[in-house]
Structure formats: C-alpha cells, structure tokens
Chain A
Amino acid sequence: MSEASLTWHRLPKRVLLLRIVDILKSFAIPIVILFVLNNDWETTFGIILRVGVLFFIGFDLIQKFFGWRNFRYALDEKTMYVIEGNWMKQEKSLPLYKIQSVHSNSPFFYRLLGVAELTFDTNANSDDASFKLAGVFPSEAKRLEDVLDQSRRRRLEVAAEPSETDEPVTDEPAAIEKPKGVRLYTLSTREILIASLTSLSVFAIFPVASTIITYIDDFISIDGTVDQIGDWVISASIIAIGVLVLAILLLSVAIGMVINFLKYGNFLLERRGDRIRVEKGLLNRSAKEIPYEKIQAIRIKETFIRRWFNIIGVELVAAGTQEELKDESSTILPFVKRDKAMAVLNEHFNQFAWADTLHRLPKKSLGIKLMRISWFGVIVTGIVLYFFRDFAWWLLLLWSLIIGGRVLSYYTTRYARNGAFIQLRTGAFNVRSFVTDKPRIEQIHVTQSWLQRRFGLCNVTLSTRGGLLSIESIEDIPKHEADAMLAWFSRYTVEQDTKRPG
C-alpha cells in the first residue's frame, strides 16, 4: 500500500478519555479495595502492592495513549487500511467487498462524548479478524458507511443486471442514493411493560437480593440487622410477610421495567435494501445489520409465561456475524404478539415459509421419554434422602418438574416438511420453533440409541452455517420419518413439488 496517497485518520482525541474510563473500570475493584476501603501504607508488602498497582495503571495509561497515537486508518475506493501496534507495528488491509456488515454500538460513555464504536464484520470463515474503530464521530461513521455503500453498489452494477427478486424498497436500483430504510417494527411502551411483567426474571430478585446482602455483609457488619429480620419473620403474621413479598416483587417488576426500557427503548427494526437493521437501547444504543443472504434460518422463542399471552420472540440465525455479537444481534423481535410478529415474518422474511400443520410425535415417544432414567433426579434424590431427609418433601416438586417437563416436551414437539422447508418445534417449558430450507442445511445427522432402537425412534440434528446456535435437534421421532427427512435432503431424490432446489 502506498502510504502517501492515502489520507490517514486517527480516532478523535476524546477517545483517549474513553480509554481512561476503561482503565478505571477494569481496575475498579483493586482501586476500591486498596485505596478506599483499606488504605494503609504501613507494611512493606502493602506499599509494594499499592505501588505495583499504581505502576500497572500508569503503564496501561501510557500504552493506551500510544495505542491511540499509533492507530491510524485510511480508506480508498476498494480497500480499508489500518496501521496499529505499539511494540509490533501491524499493517492490515481489508478489501471492502469482504465486509459483510457494519455494526455501530454506542455505550453510555461513548454517547456522552458523541462518538460511536464501529465494527466491520467479515465472513466468519475467513481468517481476517473483524475491524473495530473504537470511537468515531457520527459524521465520520456516515462517511465510512457511504463509501462502503458505494463500493457495494458498484459491485452490484458490475456483477449483473438488477436481480429480479422482488424488492419493494428500492424503486430505482441504478440510482447511487442509499436505499431508504423501511420501518418494519417498533416496540411500543406497552409492549415493554407487558414484557417486564411476563418475565421470569421477576423472581430473580430473591437470589440477587440475598447475594447482595451477604456481599455487603462481608464489608459492613449487618449481621445484627439480618438477625432482627429473621426474628421478625418468625414473629410476624402471614399477612405482613405476604405484603413484604409482594412489595419485593413489585420492586423487582419496577427494576425489570427499567432494565427492559434501557435495553429495548426506541427499538427499531428496519429493512434497508438487502439488509436488516436492528437499533435498540436508551443508554447504550446499538445498531446492527444483517445482510439478507446471510440469514440461514428463523427461530421463534416462546417462554413459559409469555406463551399464555401469545407473546413470542423472533431470532435470525445468520452466518458470518461476529461470535460475540451473534446472540444479541440476531434478535429481531424480542417480545411481540404472535399475529403481529407473523405478519412481519410473512411479509418481509417470506424466503422462509411456516407450515400450517405440524406432525405430532406418536404415543410410543411419550413412553420412551417416561422410561428414561433421569440421572440428575436419581442423584439429587440420593443426596437429599441421605443427607437432608427433612427436605424430602421438595423431591415431590423436583420429580413433578422432571416428569412434567417430559410430558410437556412430548406435547410440544412437532415437525413438518413442506416443499423445500423443514420446521421443527421443540422444548418443554420454553418452546422454540425453527424453520430453514434445504439449500441452507449443511448436514443432517440421525442418531439412534439402544433404547430408541427397541421403539423404532431416533433423534435428528440439523445444522446450518450459523455456527453453534444454528444446530437444531428433535428427539424421539419415528425412524421412518427420519429416513424420510434424509431422503428429502438427499440430492438423489427426485422432487415433485419444489420449484428449484438450491
């Protein structure tokens, strides 16, 4: 690369401030322990420890400063260049056509300073790591995205005539302007409120509270207070305890609402040409894009409580998104009424068709599910009966959960093949549905255990390119159905009803 001909940019100076905040964050615990709670400079060891920590912080500061100074990036029409490294100077170049998508992420402090973090995602299969510009101004971010857009557009024009896929978004594919974003969904305040009420995390307050109390207890002695609470619980009436529990639950709902509003506030699902864009968050605002052609499958999740309210969550299984972002970025509808969600899916994600009728498992599947020994249950029962015989009553709850879960999973498990699509529905308390089509399946793996062979049942596992999250399996389906799936998947089976297999 010719360094002279390019205009090299550094990240803005205020990014340094963010780095200092990062350092303070990562050293927060030692700083609080050594300099606030327990600030003694008496013993030699204490002095060495504190000086050492200060030295490390100073070293980190200098390193971060030079890291900022040595980090430069440039962009021409085809390639992005980055030079970085303090000890070892690294020069990287990334062809623009390899960039699949740009994620922008603005944590709270970034927003405070008016900058955003941009991640340029490449195909996960290649060795090029994704590039990260940790802190650029919105105007610069826009400039970069425009350059990327233009290069993408040029490539499209060179590659072929505008494809005949129905794109209601772009009216003039030849125009150099950006495709307008089409708003697919925004979360209403009401939806976030209902989601907070129907979340199981409402009950998480009890373990969290007890952890916090014991944690505080380590520093400040509140043992006495806790004892008083214990005395009070014993002496107080059931009504008082009920009121207290209710108050804690309400508090937890309130906390849940705050968290949900921070996380999903101003949620926006957009379609921009051939890309899906998800923006969300109040304090930490993040925007992520998934190219349409990278979508491998769609998954619908229904939690135990939300199922009763017909509220579902929709996720995209996408190939080539960054591993750490995958889980977050792929949720396109966190908690939405089923009919609304299905309307969005049927209109804008119609490359995947949902079947109307799904097959149930045969009766013998319930039999085999109940026959299996629950080793977890047996071990817990053994331990409880041996050591904590007074709590044996809880075993009833445990076993009803285990057996109930198995019966439920018998009722929830469904499957269907229609045309090129395959759809699986699994789960016991939380139900998940998965749909993908034949060209996107990487492999089908059928296993049959010794017990299943006696019943003529087996397990089927499908995988697509979306990494670990894309693996979906269905248990205890009849062997002939699994064979039919294999035959359906086989390239040697003549098909009647599909238009054109991949």
Chain B
Amino acid sequence: MSELETPSTISGKLPVEARTVFRLSSAIFYLIGFLVTGALAFAAVWFDWPSWLQITAFVLLAIDVIYSLVDIIVFQKWKQERFTYLVQPLEIRLHHGIITTHDVLIPMTKVQYVHAKQGPLLRKYGLQTITIGTAAGSHEIYAIEESFAKTLREQIAVYARIEEEDVV
C-alpha cells in the first residue's frame, strides 16, 4: 500500500487533555456503579442478610472498585494513546481500540456529513468531538482541540464536497 504523503494530509492523535476528559467522564459513570454496589453492601451488613449474600455484595463491590480503577487509570489512557486518524483528500482512516482494535476506511466520496459536538466536560477543556457520517453509519473522532476541530471539519467538508451534493 503506497500512501502518497501529500501536504494536505492531516493525521494525528488525541491531545493529552482528552485523557483527562475520558477519565472524568468514566469516573462519573463508575461513581454510579460504586454507589449502587456500596449501598448493596451496606444494606447487607445493616439488615444482617445471610452471610453468602453479604460476601457476594462485598465481592461485587471489590470487583467494581478494582475494575473502575483499572479502567480509569489504564484503559482510558490507552483509549487516548491508541486513537489515530488520517484524513487525506480521498479517504479517512481511523484506528482505535483498547482490547478490540478497530480499523476503519471511509472514502471521501461516501462522507455525507460532518458534525461537531461538545458536552460540558469537553467544553471545560476546550475540546470537541467530530462525527463523520456515511450512509452506513457514523464514526467519531473524540476530543480534539476546538480550533483544530473546526479546521478539520471544514477540510473534510471540502474534500467530501458536502455543500454541492444536497441537490439531487
């Protein structure tokens, strides 16, 4: 495979701030799990449930804590580190994944829309997520720097000639 390295190629990784956003958002998610299992363990002790139920509750709590720690510390870091994207005039390539890796190849002519979105966490760190949509589904480039996201989005739109294609 010969990739012509033209100057108009945009490739990159996610910024390090993305890691913080990923960690925070999954921390919020795991906090809910922690509260539920914690409440279960607490109820098991407080109401003096049968011992096997108490053990189960504590095992669940332990699994929850260990898994969320591993996920927040290791997996979210990998999620940021292992995401690469390559935008070329004729195609987009995405490579990401922690345990299962994904390789996606979208020809520019098939791109139908490019959206950008920003939740409160992303806004705090000045980041945006770009969604690239085709007739077969959509793909996201998570958490890239705001002004760069704008350039990238406009560049993809130009390559894909999105404005011209709305009239049949």
Contact = CB atoms under 8 A, between A and B. Distances in A.
A447 B134 contact: no
Nearest to A448: B101
Contacts of A487: 1
B17 to A, nearest CB: 27
A447 B90 contact: no
Interface string A481-502: 0110011011111100000001
Given A447-B101, A463-B136, A486-B103, A442 B2 contact: no
A465 interface: yes
Interface residues of A, number: 33
B97 A493 contact: no
Given A98-B168, A491-B91, A442 B1 contact: no
Interface residues of B, number: 26
B90 A492 contact: yes
Nearest to B1: A487
Contacts of B32: none
Nearest to A122: B168
Contacts of A464: 136
B3 interface: yes
Given A97-B168, A98-B168, A492-B90, A442 B135 contact: yes
Contact of B2 (A125, A463, A470, A492): A492
A466 to B, nearest CB: 9
A443 B168 CA distance: 22
Interface stretch (B38-46, B48-56, B105-113, B123-131): B105-113
Q: Is the interface of A mostly helix, strand, loop or mixed?
A: mixed
Contact of A492 (B4, B100, B106, B168): B4
A443 B100 contact: no
Given A443-B105, A470-B136, A490 B1 contact: yes
B104 interface: yes
Given A97-B168, A490-B1, A491-B91, A448 B105 contact: no
B76 interface: no
A362 to B, nearest CB: 20
Nearest to A487: B1
B120 interface: no
B119 interface: no
A275 to B, nearest CB: 18
The 4 closest A-B pairs by CB, nearest first: A463-B136, A442-B136, A491-B90, A446-B103
Interface of A: 97-98, 123, 125-126, 319, 441-450, 453, 463-465, 470-471, 482-483, 486-487, 489-494, 502
28 contacts: A125-B135, A442-B134, A442-B135, A443-B107, A443-B110, A443-B134, A445-B102, A445-B104, A445-B105, A447-B97, A447-B101, A448-B100, A463-B137, A464-B136, A471-B136, A486-B1, A486-B103, A487-B1, A489-B105, A490-B1, A491-B91, A491-B107, A492-B1, A492-B3, A492-B88, A492-B90, A493-B1, A494-B2
